[in-house]
Amino acid sequence: MSDAALAVRGVSKSFAGAGRPVRALDGVDLVAAPGELVTLIGPSGCGKSTLFNLIAGLAEPDTGTIALDGQGAGQRLGRVAYMPQKDLLLPWRTTLDNVILPLEVRGVRRDEARRRALDLFPQFGLEGFARAYPQTLSGGMRSRAAFLRTVLAGGSLLLLDEPFGALDALTRGQMQEWLLGVWERERRTTLFITHDVDEAIFLADRLYVMTPRPGRIALTATVELPRPRTPDLLTAPAFVQLKARLLRALRDGAAPELEAPSLASDIDLVGSHQHADPLIEGVRR
């Protein structure tokens, strides 16, 4: 896909371990088209966060290439917006002053940065909370503030690393619907890490399943379910059918044999590499 917003080709990465190198990623291929929402799912320690660090330019692959917007990325640091697992809101700053940090780093005057952020507060469900401090916000509100900060960081590619992982099931479902609403308006290419199969399918245009260490792509699925998506979709036959295949891929650590799905107009599945290995966490940020 020469016009891909993101193209990861043959990427491998190892780190120094206890007496021997630890191979976190092995020959990972991944693409995201412009405006596409891509989810990445796999067991803990399979290298998902390591892959994000490589895409963001916080580290370099041992082998392989990473291209942004169809061109060799070279210096990637600062070209993508990255939201880590924890919201990392500064407790001494108000919600407003937390979300404007990326603008301030880029040299935008504080009054102008605040004006830009406040214009987006209603869209991000934060209206009325500009002067609130992080410790007074709910988990969902903190996630929305962290996401707005990520959006304000700029860049055409958003990397979201389990942003809803710490939320309760009800709040998590509400945040998924909210995120899809924002994504529908923004249409920014988004790569989203999750451990939740339902979340991976519900959000995605395309999803990738990774094996345990060393992380490889076990299965690629194009999710052609209708948008906008509602919770009723979770019990639709096409959804359940794809979920069963993803669970099998996660359980086996390898791509299952994929017969043509009975609802071919709804789901298109494509198998990939086959491997299994012990679980271990790759080096995170």
Total number of domains constituting the chain: 2
185 and 71 in a common domain: yes
99 and 9 in a common domain: no
122 and 70 in a common domain: no
- H helical segments located in 204-236: none
122 and 161 in a common domain: no
68 and 94 in a common domain: no
169 and 150 in a common domain: no
Q: Global pTM?
A: 0.81
173 and 53 in a common domain: yes
* Domain span including residue 141: 86-154
Q: What is the pLDDT of residue 118?
A: 96
Nearest C-alpha neighbor of 24 from the set 39, 45, 55, 40 = 45
120 and 195 in a common domain: no
What are the structure tokens assigned to 232, written together?
């009723």
93 and 58 in a common domain: no
Nearest C-alpha neighbor of 39 from the set 140, 256, 144, 190 = 190
Report the C-alpha gap between 140 and 23 in whole angstroms: 35
15 and 73 in a common domain: yes
106 and 45 in a common domain: no
| Per-residue confidence in pLDDT tens, the chain, 285 aa | 558 899 999 999 998 877 788 899 999 999 999 999 999 999 888 889 999 999 988 889 999 999 998 776 567 777 889 998 888 999 999 999 999 999 999 899 999 999 999 999 998 889 999 999 999 999 999 999 999 999 998 888 999 999 888 788 888 888 899 899 889 988 999 999 999 999 999 999 999 999 998 899 999 999 989 999 999 999 999 999 999 999 988 888 644 333 333 222 233 323 333 332 222 223 233
Report the C-alpha gap between 252 and 274 in whole angstroms: 9
Nearest C-alpha neighbor of 39 from the set 195, 164, 248, 257 = 195
Task: Choose the final residue of a domain: 129, 154, 179.
Answer: 154
Report the C-alpha gap between 206 and 269 in whole angstroms: 10
CATH number at residue 48: 3.40.50.300
Measure the CA angle with vertex 23, ends 17 and 27; round to 5°.
Answer: 165
